[in-house]
């Protein structure tokens, strides 16, 4: 498990390293092929010692990050690598694999906010990105680290994941850009070319195995025992380092003002863990002086974290996830549970859920104000609405909703909604085309009727 | 046709106004409902008098635009409104309808460039945007001007277009954001909900008429005679003002260095006209000292501009456009012909075409280096390849390809390609999933075989 090039004493001098989230004392190099604590099996996290980061004062950090955002000064124009010192400082320039991720629009949802009763409403459109989801933020970090491992003589020859969604799309694209082979494992016969078209187009090796998803994971573990393939699954803690920049970027986009609430759709719980990690770092270094309250939004069909929250986090609940329109968060046994629990507890956060009908309605309603929301964003918006109605989120609270993917990845969902074909959903905002004769008077009359409303 | 509020003398003091591209002398307010020259019927263009713009020197303009790009200083963070003085200076703050358009990634196509023999290759990813195409750049301007017209008491009550593609998607989204009704006209029975899902979701009034596309245009003209509906079709010259910022932005992203070549896929020819207009303005004001050579890339199935170029622009050629994978540029009689001819002539430009097989291969090949290209970008990349092979574009030329839309809008095209189902196309880069037993040794052997290549 030790790095090919880094000696023990090198590691002791490092101020950024993997450590066990359960408290085991060993440090591990982030350039090692290691996913969990060798002592206790818990997840790892990349830890940044605070002292070296205090060499700049809070204002200097803000100035630095402001000055780099979106510039052509490669790689600092990237929303992730503009915060390089807080991400993976030991990465060499030539190993950064960046496609200008981050700096996504913090959409001012002016009309929607007025309609919902929270005028200071903002939607962070993470899906306006290279592969269409927030996963780009994490993959730029993971693939960059792998590139450096390979340059340093590690046995790693390829990256891999067992995924059929945004994770495989982002992994395949970043690997293709870097020229590193990517392998995608999935159960045979259950996934169409359309669902996989991003990794297929990006030249990933797509292996369909005659087994179910658990069977795939078993094979993956056997195949990767010799460390020749680096696993990009969600237990990998490197991706969190990129994803954590989203919270820092939101605050930067507000000129370093902390919003009152951030609502985020959650499944495996990596994203809320990352969000919290970014805020924690800002707070520790004095860039902010309070936490926002984090709201984890779950689909009612796959709500283990909501159930855990209801029992006061006395124990981790596992459920059998049911089919949901919000299929990217269809998770019954979330990997990053412990980190996410900390995120909710430390921010006085809330976990809430939304039904299929609620999430579909919230997405369709938001679209009427110019967005094109994915179903997961629908979950977050439905939860937002509940908390407003319950009086928890107040009318003058500054509120951010994280939109995790571009709606263009979910056109089937939107078509089915507007054709009123979704199970358990009443398509109250359906907007089908109206059929008219080719007659100017009839057309005029129809338009006048519609504009009168 | 005169503005509701602007008097004749107001107009005479304006330094930004509509004028006839054929040289008729009248000025028209950009806040008038007017699309073509009342004297001769030619297209209009927004003209910016140069003298008032010389109050800043070239360096000051560069500094100003650099300082605004992507910042949270609304609306200047937008790639369009960061150049506000060069776009529509008379627009009031409260009428700007912006969704942070522009500032799209100027993708460094390092691997692809090396493979093609032009290492200094860049792809301007205009499709990484709110509605997934470059049309956002123009629609933010058009809808903002309409908002101001309405605020000033114009009879305009809605915006409209006859389109089934990116134009209707962008119009509907910007109108929805502004709270202005949008009407989309289209022939009944020829367009699916899926093709129209963006305007449908954004709440546009979608009217399917019992006629063909020409019949729709006739009805539209009758219905809009009283100026109550503002037409956003491609003859509208306001959109060009937003679209022209793409060229300025490219040069800004190169720290004000002019690339040698810009290759752009063209149909109705508005986009290349806009590109040229932005460069012309920079040249006139001294921000650059030479033009890039512009290359217009056409699909061979819809190539009137290519045919015109071949006859030395002696006359405008019209063709019957045939079905092409590049359906957004399937135009037989381009609206902006005269402006585009000027763009090619003034930049020592080139027009070239690509077959279905060439465009599909170029798109699939580019995807292998991390992109997710739409078929129109495929046309541009195929043309690039031809000009490299012909020795016209040289190995050390700095070359930019404009990618007009996100590949997520064209997953059907990509799926069909990788399933080898496209007419007239040999899917030489098809990358179907491979089916394997759930056996670690078999999986290892397959991976080793593939990584050996």
Contact A440 B219 (CB under 8 A): yes
Interface mutation vs chain A, best among B79, B228, B442, B447, most A CBs within 10 Å:
B447
pLDDT tens digits along B258-293: 999 999 999 999 999 999 999 999 999 999 999 999
The answer to whether B105 faces chain A, any CB pair under 8 Å, is yes
The answer to whether B451 faces chain A, any CB pair under 8 Å, is yes
Residue A3 has pLDDT above 50, yes or no: no
**For position B213, what pLDDT does the model report?**
80
pLDDT tens digits along B177-229: 999 999 999 988 888 888 899 999 999 999 999 998 888 888 988 998 889 99
Nearest chain A residue to B367 by CA distance is: A202
pLDDT tens digits along A307-366: 999 999 999 999 999 999 999 999 999 999 999 999 999 999 999 999 999 999 999 999
Residue B386 has pLDDT above 70, yes or no: yes
Per-residue pLDDT averaged across B118-122, rounded?
98
- From A345's Cα to the closest Cα of chain B, the distance in A is 31
Contact B440 A132 (CB under 8 A): no
Nearest chain B residue to A123 by CA distance is: B99
The answer to whether A188 faces chain B, any CB pair under 8 Å, is yes
Interface mutation vs chain A, best among B74, B104, B372, most A CBs within 10 Å:
B372
Q: Give residue B331's Cα distance to chain centre.
A: 14
pLDDT tens digits along A187-200: 888 888 888 999 99
**For position A5, what pLDDT does the model report?**
42
Expressed in angstroms, the distance from the first to the final Cα of chain B is 67
**For position A8, what pLDDT does the model report?**
57
Sorting pLDDT into bands at 50, 70 and 90, what band is B2?
very low
The answer to whether A217 faces chain B, any CB pair under 8 Å, is no
User: Which letter does DSSP use for residue B51 in this model?
Assistant: G
All structural domains of chain A, each given as residue ranges with its CATH number in brackets, are 1-48 (no CATH), 106-132+240-418 (3.40.50.1100)
The answer to whether B147 faces chain A, any CB pair under 8 Å, is no
- From B350's Cα to the closest Cα of chain A, the distance in A is 29
Per-residue pLDDT averaged across A19-44, rounded?
95
**For position B233, what pLDDT does the model report?**
87
The answer to whether A93 faces chain B, any CB pair under 8 Å, is no
**For position A212, what pLDDT does the model report?**
87
Residue whose pair of structure tokens reads 């045939």 in the numeric block = B322
In contact, B438 and A215? CB cutoff 8 Å:
yes
In contact, B44 and B53? CB cutoff 8 Å:
no
Q: Least CB-CB distance to B99: which of A105, A157, A174? A: A105
Per-residue pLDDT averaged across B240-256, rounded?
98
Per-residue pLDDT averaged across A64-78, rounded?
92
Closest by alpha carbon to A61, among A36, A82, A35?
A: A82
Per-residue pLDDT averaged across B4-14, rounded?
64
The pTM assigned to this predicted structure is 0.96
Instruction: From chain B, pick out residues whose CB is under 8 angstroms from the CB of A211.
Output: 438
What B17-26 contacts at long range (C-beta under 8 Å, 24+ apart), as own/partner pairs, is: B17/B46, B17/B47, B18/B44, B18/B45, B18/B46, B18/B47, B18/B237, B19/B44, B19/B45, B19/B47, B20/B44, B21/B45, B21/B338, B21/B339, B22/B338
Residue whose pair of structure tokens reads 């809009």 in the numeric block = B224
**For position A190, what pLDDT does the model report?**
80
pLDDT tens digits along B402-453: 999 999 999 999 999 999 999 999 999 999 999 999 999 999 999 999 999 7
Bridge-based pairing of strands B205-209 and A434-436 is parallel
Contact A372 B438 (CB under 8 A): no
Those of residues 221-280 in A touching chain B at CB distance below 8 A are: 222-223, 229, 252-255
**For position A403, what pLDDT does the model report?**
98
Instruction: From chain A, pick out residues whose CB is under 8 angstroms from the CB of B100.
Output: 105-107
Per-residue pLDDT averaged across A24-42, rounded?
95
Instruction: From chain B, pick out residues whose CB is under 8 angstroms from the CB of A259.
Output: none
Closest by alpha carbon to A402, among A272, A291, A301, A289?
A: A272
pLDDT tens digits along A380-393: 999 999 999 999 99
Contact A193 B437 (CB under 8 A): no
Between A247-251, B93-97, B188-192, B336-340, the lowest mean confidence (pLDDT) is in B188-192
Residue B27 neighbours by CB distance under 10 Å: 15
**For position B4, what pLDDT does the model report?**
39
Three-class SS string for chain A?
A: CCCCCCCHHHHHHCCEEEEECCCCCCCECCCCCCCECCCCCCEEEEEECCHHHHHCCHHHHHHHHHHHCCCCCCCCCCCCHHHHHHHCCCCCHHHCCCCCCCCCCEEECHHHHHHHCCCCEEEEECCCCCCCECHHHHHHHHHHHHHHHHHCCCCCCEEEEECCCHHHHHHHHHHHHHCCCEEEEEECCCCCCCCCHHHHHCCCEEEEECCCHHHHHHHHHHHCCCCCEEECCCCCCHHHHHHCHHHHHHHHHCCCCCCCEEEEECCCCHHHHHHHHHHHHHHHCCCCCCCCEEEEEEECCCCHHHHHHHCCCCCCCCCCCCCCCCHHHCCCCCCCHHHHHHHHHHCCCEEEEECHHHHHHHHHHHHCCCCCECHHHHHHHHHHHHHHHCCCCCCCCCEEEEECEEHHHHHHHHHHHHCCCCCCCCCCCCCCCEEECCCHHHHHHHHHHHHHC
Per-residue pLDDT averaged across A135-157, rounded?
97
**For position B8, what pLDDT does the model report?**
57
Q: What whole-number percentage of chain A has pLDDT above 70? A: 98
Q: Least CB-CB distance to B370: which of A99, A157, A407? A: A99
Interface mutation vs chain A, best among B200, B249, B368, most A CBs within 10 Å:
B200
Q: Least CB-CB distance to A174: which of B70, B207, B370? A: B370
Distance (Å, whole) CA B28 – CA A188:
64
pLDDT tens digits along B45-74: 999 999 999 999 999 999 999 999 888 889
Contact B223 A364 (CB under 8 A): no
In contact, B245 and B83? CB cutoff 8 Å:
yes
**For position A4, what pLDDT does the model report?**
39
Bridge-based pairing of strands A106-108 and A121-125 is antiparallel
**For position A321, what pLDDT does the model report?**
94
Sorting pLDDT into bands at 50, 70 and 90, what band is A401?
very high
Residue B95 has pLDDT above 60, yes or no: yes
Sorting pLDDT into bands at 50, 70 and 90, what band is A9?
low
Between A152-161, A228-237, B139-148, the lowest mean confidence (pLDDT) is in A228-237
Q: Least CB-CB distance to A223: which of B132, B412, B447? A: B447
Instruction: From chain A, pick out residues whose CB is under 8 angstroms from the CB of B222.
Output: 440
- From B410's Cα to the closest Cα of chain A, the distance in A is 10
Instruction: From chain A, pick out residues whose CB is under 8 angstroms from the CB of B186.
Output: 433
Contact A419 B107 (CB under 8 A): no
Q: What whole-number percentage of chain A has pLDDT above 90? A: 88
Per-residue pLDDT averaged across A265-290, rounded?
97
Residue B194 neighbours by CB distance under 10 Å: 14
The answer to whether A76 faces chain B, any CB pair under 8 Å, is no
* Bridge partners of residue B436, in order along the sequence: A209
Q: What whole-number percentage of chain B has pLDDT above 90? A: 88
Helices (H), B69-181: 84-87, 110-116, 135-151, 166-178
Contact B131 A409 (CB under 8 A): no
Bridge-based pairing of strands B44-48 and B16-20 is antiparallel
């Amino acid at each position: 498990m030790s790095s090919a090039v880094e000696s023990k004493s090198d590691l002791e001098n490092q101020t950024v390293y993997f450590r066990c989230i359960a408290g085991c004392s060993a440090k591990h190099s982030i350039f090692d092929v290691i996913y969990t604590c060798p002592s206790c099996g818990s997840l790892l996290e990349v830890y940044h010692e605070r002292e070296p980061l205090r060499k700049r004062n809070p204002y200097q950090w803000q100035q630095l990050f402001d000055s780099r955002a979106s510039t052509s000064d490669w790689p600092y124009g990237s929303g992730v690598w503009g915060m390089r010192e807080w991400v993976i400082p030991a990465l060499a320039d030539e190993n950064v694999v960046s496609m200008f991720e981050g700096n996504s629009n913090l959409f001012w949802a002016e009309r929607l906010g007025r309609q919902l009763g929270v005028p200071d409403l903002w939607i962070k459109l993470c899906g306006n990105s290279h592969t269409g989801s927030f996963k780009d933020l994490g993959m730029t970090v993971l693939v960059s680290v792998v590139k450096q491992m390979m340059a340093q003589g590690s046995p790693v020859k390829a990256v891999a994941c067992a995924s059929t969604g945004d994770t495989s799309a982002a992994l395949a694209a970043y690997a293709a850009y870097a020229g590193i082979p990517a392998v995608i494992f999935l159960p045979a016969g259950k996934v169409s070319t359309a669902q996989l078209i991003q990794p297929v187009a990006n030249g990933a090796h797509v292996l369909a195995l005659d087994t179910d998803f658990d069977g795939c994971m078993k094979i993956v573990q056997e195949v990767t025992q010799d460390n020749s393939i680096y696993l990009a699954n969600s237990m990998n803690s490197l991706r969190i380092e990129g994803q954590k920049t989203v919270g820092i970027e939101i605050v930067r986009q507000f000129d370093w003002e902390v919003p009152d609430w951030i609502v985020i759709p959650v499944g495996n719980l990596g994203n809320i863990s990352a969000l919290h990690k970014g805020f924690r770092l800002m707070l520790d270094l004095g860039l902010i002086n309070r936490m926002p309250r984090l709201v984890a939004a779950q689909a009612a069909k796959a709500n283990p974290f909501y159930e855990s929250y209801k029992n006061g986090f006395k124990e981790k609940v596992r459920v059998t996830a049911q089919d949901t329109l919000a299929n990217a968060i269809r998770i019954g046994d979330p990997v990053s549970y412990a980190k996410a629990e900390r995120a909710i507890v430390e921010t006085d956060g809330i976990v809430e859920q939304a039904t299929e009908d609620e999430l579909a309605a919230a997405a369709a309603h938001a679209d009427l104000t110019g967005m094109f929301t994915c179903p997961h964003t629908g979950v977050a918006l439905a939860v937002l609405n509940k908390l407003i109605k319950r009086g928890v989120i107040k009318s003058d609270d500054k509120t951010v909703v994280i939109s995790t993917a571009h709606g263009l990845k979910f056109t089937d969902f939107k078509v089915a909604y507007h054709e009123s074909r979704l199970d358990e959903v009443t398509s109250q905002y359906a907007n089908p085309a109206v059929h008219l004769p080719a007659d100017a008077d009839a057309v005029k009359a129809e338009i006048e009727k519609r504009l009168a409303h």
